[in-house]
């Protein structure tokens, strides 16, 4: 089982050249990567990880669409020319996914360190306890 579904990814991107089976494979790969990074299960239903999975899967799907030519950087149809800025969209989705992963990791980090107030022998918070 994966962290998100094909329908979740298709809510962000609508590919014509990337099949549902390919998107399912992308989601499985991304779920495994996220699980390895966070220590969570690949079938986690945590909303933060689900969002990370959706954004990473959307980024990879956009890359796939770019390589198949569906989202070429420039396309000319007749006399008109169309240009896409796919790289910016891919970068956005990668950044959003990393944001959600960092948010999950920081929220689930159990070990906190407490900085000691001691600076030297006989001192606590810069107050001298003993004068020599």
pLDDT tens string 20-53: 999 999 999 999 999 999 999 998 999 999 999 9
How far apart (Å, rounded) are the C-alpha atoms in residues 23 and 61? 7
Provide the CA 37 distance to its chain's centre, in angstroms: 10
Q: Is 116 part of any domain?
A: no
Q: Model pTM?
A: 0.75
Q: How many domains does the chain have?
A: 1
Q: Is 90 part of any domain?
A: yes
Q: Is 67 part of any domain?
A: yes
pLDDT at site 97 = 96
Where does the pLDDT of residue 94 fall: very low under 50, low under 70, confident under 90, or very high at 90 and above?
A: very high
Q: What is the mean pLDDT of residues 67-83?
A: 76
| Three-class DSSP category at 2 | coil
Is residue 69 over pLDDT 60? yes
Q: Is 35 part of any domain?
A: yes
């Amino acid at each position: 089982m994966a962290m998100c579904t094909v329908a979740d990814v298709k809510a962000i991107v609508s590919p014509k050249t990337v099949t549902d089976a390919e998107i399912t494979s992308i989601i499985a790969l991304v779920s495994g990567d996220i699980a390895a990074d966070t220590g969570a299960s690949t079938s986690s239903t945590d909303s933060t990880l689900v969002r990370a999975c959706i954004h990473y899967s959307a980024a990879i799907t956009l890359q796939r669409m770019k390589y198949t030519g569906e989202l070429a950087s420039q396309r000319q149809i007749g006399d008109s020319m169309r240009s896409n800025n796919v790289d910016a969209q891919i970068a956005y989705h990668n950044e959003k996914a990393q944001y959600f992963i960092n948010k999950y990791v920081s929220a689930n980090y159990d070990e906190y360190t407490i900085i000691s107030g001691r600076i030297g022998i006989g001192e606590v918070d810069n107050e001298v306890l003993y004068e020599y």
